[in-house]
């Protein structure tokens, strides 16, 4: 047990290491930041939710950076694409945070976030699972090629084309910028890094090869989560260094193991795993929404 | 006679501001003290006990003692789960402009048999009476349901406590009275209680009327490492955030480095 100076509560050190290690493992394996698992886990451990969101982001920064280091050795990061996505992501997350405050004042925020979570997790997860299972069975899904064709033509016709040697693409910079912006806005509203939406979008919309998708999305996640830590620390002072250190320790070790295991897996297996994880998370989320709550009221301190 | 009246008036005017500062207007000061005037929080903090001593001014010990430990008042919002398209989502927020972040009340007998409901509200002797609603309750809902929910949820976290009578073997919090009017109240401050300025307030009621009271400030503060981190986070928030990011990058880099070698 150690007392957290900002969260103002003691936590079990081993338990926190275990949770962050597990999240880090998943993060290194499939290349998502893991915010959509980390934040609810911390809240479940009793950490106040603003502290959980802001401090969880610092752990995501650490694991994504260690993931990037591992991916760089395998030439798995398209820096040019990552920079474009991050630029869009930074702008988008600022708009998202602004939208968050507006919706909060309108009083419909919780409803919107619930539906966004449910549809994104279930939709993206289901799609990935279906596609990767089809590939494993040895046949190409027709829907994917339909998706791919118009995107290519748009990307080719748009100005400001750029060569992305790592990804083997020659497309306009506008689709990645717009994608980064959209994901950033979603991330700002939902309080997550957005990696789990970004990865499938890079695979299915930008047609990037899966082996560079993970490293590149980690790069975008690193930039956005670092920004969240600094902004949250400056605005709300809810970043707990002691908790962050524990989460980082568990997270980076877990991420390294995850990246090792991931290197020995086929692309479609990784996609199937991520799809499975997202569908499972959406089911958990749906259960929370559908099962009648024992306590009708929810308390939010502060504001 | 007139001179006496004038003197009393002058005294009342002089005493005016002091009386206004205390909630317990008109009641005589109660001799009381806290055993722990300073409580420090370091990395091994697991919560603490606070002991309030005092003497009932009535030599025969008549009357009832109430001791309240209050944390600072803070805003809070209570939401109610609504059903939308078959899903339960949080909605219908009700804001409290001030609600005690910590509230423990110890009394010799049940509060309701010591003081009238008016006195309980006037002196804020229970947590529900200490919370102030700031907004209208939506859709004709019962405001007392929100107030009760606030108390219930905080009680479940151990932040609101009510103890009647002396401590037992299982429950160390309580109030004990001794011969000669001496009383001692013990309350457990859980580790999740906020680190702040608290106030331990002792009251003596007789036949439902407040006859004596006292307020004692208690400071709970961080020391050592915990204090340094908190000071950094509140005084230099931007630099602190930057520092945390650098620590994160360092941790990631070290892990990648170690794992490459092995």
**Sequence spans of domains, chain B:** 21-222, 223-262
Q: Which of A27-41, A222-236, B86-100, B191-205 has the lowest mean pLDDT?
A: A27-41
Residues A45/A51, Cβ–Cβ less than 8 Å: no
Check pLDDT > 80 for residue B114: yes
Sort out which chain A residues have CB atoms less than 8 A from B43's CB and list them: 2-3, 242
CB contact under 8 A, B253 and A69: yes
Sort out which chain A residues have CB atoms less than 8 A from B237's CB and list them: 233-235, 237
Tell me, what's the pLDDT at A107?
A: 59
Residue A226 lies in a domain: yes
Reference B67, options B166, B155, B195, B171; nearest CA is B166
Give the list of residues 6+ apart from residue A100 with CB closer than 8 angstroms, or none.
A109, A188, A189, A191
Exposed, middle or buried by CB within 10 Å (0-12, 13-18, 19+), for B239? middle
Tell me, what's the pLDDT at A14?
A: 94
Encoding tokens for residue A208? 């990037």
Tell me, what's the pLDDT at B138?
A: 73
Reference B203, options B19, B46, B56, B14; nearest CA is B56
CB contact under 8 A, B77 and A110: no
Q: Which residue of A has its CA nearest to B221?
A: A5
| Identity of the residue in B79, B230, B241 whose CB atom sits nearest the CB atom of A300 | B79
What number is the average pLDDT over the span A74-101? 84
End-to-end Cα separation, chain B, in angstroms: 97
More confident residue, B78 or B9: B78
pLDDT band at residue B109, thresholds of 50, 70 and 90? very high
Q: Which residue of B has its CA nearest to A228?
A: B241
pLDDT in tens, A240-294: 999 999 999 998 888 888 888 888 888 788 878 888 888 988 888 888 888 888 8
More confident residue, B95 or B260: B95
Tell me, what's the pLDDT at A203?
A: 80
Rounded-to-integer distance, Cα A239 and Cα A1, Å: 19
With a pLDDT cut of 90, the percent of chain A lying above it is 8
Tell me, what's the pLDDT at B90?
A: 79
Q: Which residue of B has its CA nearest to A8?
A: B192
More confident residue, A270 or A2: A2
Residue A54 lies in a domain: yes
pLDDT band at residue A104, thresholds of 50, 70 and 90? low
Reference A257, options B250, B244, B262, B249; nearest CA is B262
CB contact under 8 A, A61 and B233: no
Tell me, what's the pLDDT at A108?
A: 63
What number is the average pLDDT over the span B43-69? 90
Output the average pLDDT for chain A. Answer: 81
What number is the average pLDDT over the span B147-155? 93
Tell me, what's the pLDDT at A302?
A: 65
Rounded-to-integer distance, Cα A39 and Cα A97, Å: 17
CB pairs under 8 A between A and B: 193
Q: Which residue of A has its CA nearest to B100?
A: A301
Q: ipTM of the predicted structure?
A: 0.81
Instruction: Find which of A5-19, A41-55, B130-144 is predicted with most confidence, using mean pLDDT.
Output: A5-19
| Identity of the residue in A69, A288, A301 whose CB atom sits nearest the CB atom of B256 | A69
More confident residue, A182 or B105: B105
Encoding tokens for residue A123? 């939709």
Q: Measure in Å the smallest separation between the Cα of B261 and chain A Cα atoms.
A: 12
- How many CA atoms are closer than 13 Å to the CA of B12, on its beta-carbon side? 8
Q: Measure in Å the smallest separation between the Cα of A141 and chain B Cα atoms.
A: 33
Number of domains in chain A: 1
pLDDT band at residue A224, thresholds of 50, 70 and 90? confident
For the stretch B81-85, contacts whose Cβ atoms lie closer than 8 Å and that sit 24 or more positions apart, written own/partner, are B81/A293, B81/A296, B81/A297, B81/A298, B84/A111
pLDDT band at residue A145, thresholds of 50, 70 and 90? very low
Residue A126 lies in a domain: yes
What number is the average pLDDT over the span B223-237? 91
What is B21-222's CATH number?
A: 2.60.40.1930
Residue A82 lies in a domain: yes
More confident residue, A237 or A3: A3
pLDDT band at residue B101, thresholds of 50, 70 and 90? very high
Check pLDDT > 60 for residue B5: no
Encoding tokens for residue B125? 């002797």
Tell me, what's the pLDDT at B261?
A: 59
| Identity of the residue in B76, B88, B191 whose CB atom sits nearest the CB atom of A299 | B76
Sort out which chain B residues have CB atoms less than 8 A from A244's CB and list them: 244, 247-248
Rounded-to-integer distance, Cα A108 and Cα A57, Å: 25
Mutate to test the interface with B, among A63, A72, A241 (most CBs of B within 10 A): A241
Sort out which chain A residues have CB atoms less than 8 A from B79's CB and list them: 110, 297-300
Tell me, what's the pLDDT at A154?
A: 60
What number is the average pLDDT over the span B85-95? 81
Strands B103-107 and B160-164, sheet pairing? parallel
Predicted model pTM: 0.79
Rounded-to-integer distance, Cα A211 and Cα A74, Å: 9
Mutate to test the interface with A, among B241, B250, B260 (most CBs of A within 10 A): B241
Check pLDDT > 50 for residue B32: yes
Sort out which chain B residues have CB atoms less than 8 A from A299's CB and list them: 76-79, 149-150, 153-154
Q: Measure in Å the smallest separation between the Cα of B50 and chain A Cα atoms.
A: 18
Check pLDDT > 60 for residue A210: yes
Rounded-to-integer distance, Cα A239 and Cα A225, Å: 12
Output the average pLDDT for chain B. Answer: 84
Q: Measure in Å the smallest separation between the Cα of B3 and chain A Cα atoms.
A: 53
- For residue A75, which phi and psi values (nearest 5 degrees)? 55, 45
CB contact under 8 A, B77 and A242: no
Tell me, what's the pLDDT at B14?
A: 42
Tell me, what's the pLDDT at A1?
A: 87
Check pLDDT > 80 for residue B19: no
| Identity of the residue in B77, B88, B240 whose CB atom sits nearest the CB atom of A300 | B77
Residues B195/B45, Cβ–Cβ less than 8 Å: no
Which domain range does residue A133 map to? Answer: 2-287
Sort out which chain A residues have CB atoms less than 8 A from B191's CB and list them: 3, 9-10
Check pLDDT > 70 for residue A144: no
Rounded-to-integer distance, Cα A251 and Cα A248, Å: 5
Q: Which residue of B has its CA nearest to A222?
A: B249
Tell me, what's the pLDDT at B73?
A: 94
Residue A159 lies in a domain: yes
């Amino acid at each position: 047990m150690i007392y957290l100076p900002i969260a103002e509560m003691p936590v079990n050190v081993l338990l926190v290491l275990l949770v962050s290690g597990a999240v880090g493992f998943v993060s290194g394996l499939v290349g998502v930041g893991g915010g959509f698992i980390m934040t609810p886990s911390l809240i479940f451990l009793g950490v106040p939710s603003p502290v959980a969101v802001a401090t969880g982001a610092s752990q995501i920064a650490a694991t994504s950076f260690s993931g990037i280091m591992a991916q760089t050795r395998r030439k798995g990061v398209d820096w040019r694409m990552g920079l474009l996505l991050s630029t869009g992501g930074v702008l988008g997350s600022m708009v998202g945070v602004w939208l968050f405050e507006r919706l909060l004042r309108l009083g419909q925020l919780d409803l919107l976030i619930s539906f966004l979570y449910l549809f994104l997790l279930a939709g993206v997860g289901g799609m990935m699972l279906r596609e990767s299972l089809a590939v494993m069975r040895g046949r190409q899904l027709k829907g994917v090629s339909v998706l791919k064709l118009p995107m290519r033509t748009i990307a080719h016709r748009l100005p400001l084309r750029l060569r992305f040697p790592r990804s083997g693409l020659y497309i306009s910079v506008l689709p990645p910028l717009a994608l980064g912006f959209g994901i950033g806005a979603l991330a700002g509203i939902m309080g997550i890094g957005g990696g789990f939406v970004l990865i499938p979008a890079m695979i299915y919309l930008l047609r990037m090869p899966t082996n560079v998708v993970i490293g590149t999305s980690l790069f975008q996640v690193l930039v956005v989560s670092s920004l969240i830590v600094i902004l949250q620390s400056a605005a709300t002072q809810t970043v707990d260094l002691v908790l962050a250190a524990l989460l980082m320790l568990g997270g980076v070790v877990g991420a390294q193991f995850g990246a090792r295991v991931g290197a020995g897996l086929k692309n479609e297996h990784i996609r199937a795993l991520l799809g499975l994880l997202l569908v499972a998370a959406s089911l958990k989320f749906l259960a929370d929404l559908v099962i009648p709550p024992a306590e009708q009221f929810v308390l939010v301190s502060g504001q | 006679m007139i001179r006496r009246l004038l003197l009393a008036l002058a005294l009342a005017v002089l005493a005016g501001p002091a009386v206004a500062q205390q909630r317990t207007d008109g009641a005589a000061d109660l001799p009381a003290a806290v055993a722990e005037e300073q409580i420090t929080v370091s990395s091994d903090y697991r919560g603490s006990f606070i002991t309030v001593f005092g003497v009932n001014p009535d030599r025969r010990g008549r009357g009832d003692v109430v001791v309240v430990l209050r944390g600072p008042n803070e805003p809070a919002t209570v939401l109610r789960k609504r059903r939308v398209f078959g899903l339960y989502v949080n909605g219908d927020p009700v804001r409290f402009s001030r609600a005690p972040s910590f509230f423990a009340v110890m009394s010799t007998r049940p509060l309701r048999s010591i003081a009238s409901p008016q006195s309980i509200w006037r002196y804020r002797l229970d947590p529900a009476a200490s919370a102030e609603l700031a907004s209208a309750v939506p859709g004709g809902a019962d405001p007392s349901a929100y107030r009760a929910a606030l108390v219930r949820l905080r009680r479940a976290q151990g932040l609101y406590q009510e103890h009647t009578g002396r401590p037992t073997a299982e429950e160390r919090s309580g109030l004990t009275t001794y011969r000669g009017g001496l009383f001692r109240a013990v309350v457990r401050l859980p580790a999740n209680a906020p680190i702040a300025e608290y106030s331990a307030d002792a009251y003596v009621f007789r036949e439902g009327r407040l006859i004596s009271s006292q307020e004692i400030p208690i400071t709970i503060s961080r020391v050592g490492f915990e204090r340094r981190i908190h000071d950094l986070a509140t005084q230099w928030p931007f630099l602190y955030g930057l520092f945390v990011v650098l620590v994160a990058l360092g941790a990631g880099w070290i892990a990648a480095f170690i794992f490459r070698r092995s």
